[in-house]
Amino acid sequence: MSIRHPIIAGNWKMNKTIREAQDYAGRLLGLLGETTEIDVVVCAPFTALSTLKDELEESVIHIGAQDLSFAGNGAYTGEISAAMLVDTACTYVIIGHSERRVILRETDEEIAKKVKAALKAGLTPILCVGENLAQREESKAFAIVRSQVEKDLPDLSPADLKRVVIAYEPIWAIGTGKSATSADAQEMCTMIRSTLAGIAGAVADEVNILYGGSVNADTIVELMAQPDVDGALVGGASLDPEGFAKLVLNA
């Protein structure tokens, strides 16, 4: 029996207007009902968060953001702080998604500061790590992911580390329809857990490690059967509430 509680998190990326978010929330709630064995999270654009607060705050569905500032407040034009996310009833925040690392050149140093800002505010960070195709083909995937985990989670107490969720997302599998095999996902999640054990000892067994990359309502079944895969971060397949609810119920 795992001591971890499974998590399925949807990442809408830059999709959905306020009206679409409101409609989605109502439909997903109707499909998932009152209780769920799994923690379901919807990570929405900043503009939709207060609408999701109105629709979901008292429900079984958790609200997440897709980024936050490492700074607390002040002269950071365009940024959103951890306290602002808490204000919209967010409890999760995605940090270091590969689209931000690659397109927006986010560095491990910035990501480490964002993880600390999230933890300080009581948010659960979903830290994304993963290799690109060239790195996998050159057999560097394990070294890359290990180094991201070590650089993005420096000097955390075991109590803080326990609150971090890690999403292993191979870049070549994101939005491509080419998922890693469940055996590959398990192998990498095991390596991540042993890296965490090296940093903080036994608490590594309590950290939720998700897989992300073209997960759908069919592939989730075998992924969830892997002992070190504690759930999924889902992009494209989370955009339609009926499809996402089916994926959650299959998990």
Listed residue (136, 120, 139) closest to 180, CA to CA: 136
56, 29 contact by CB (below 8 A): yes
Write each residue from 180 to 219 as x if it is in contact with ligand PEP (CB under 6 A), else as -, in one continuous string.
--------------------------------xxxx----
Active-site entry in 55, 99, 106, 169: 169
**247 is a site residue for ligand PEP (CB under 6 A):** no
**Which secondary structure element, helix H or strand E, spans residue 117, and what is its range?**
helix 108-120
Q: Which stretch binds ligand PEP (CB under 6 A): 31-39, 47-55, 147-155, 233-241?
A: 233-241
64, 95 contact by CB (below 8 A): no
| 169 counts as catalytic | yes
Which structure tokens are listed for 212?
């992300």
**Which secondary structure element, helix H or strand E, spans residue 91, and what is its range?**
strand 90-95
End-to-end Cα, the chain, rounded Å: 16
Binds ligand PEP (CB under 6 A): choice among 7, 8, 11, 166 = 11
Q: Is residue 236 part of an annotated ligand binding site? A: yes
Q: Residues marked as binding?
A: 11-13, 175, 214, 235-236
Q: Which residues of this chain interact with ligand PEP, rule CB under 6 A?
A: 11, 169, 174-175, 212-215, 233-237
Which amino acids are annotated as binding site for substrate, given as ranges? 11-13, 175, 214, 235-236
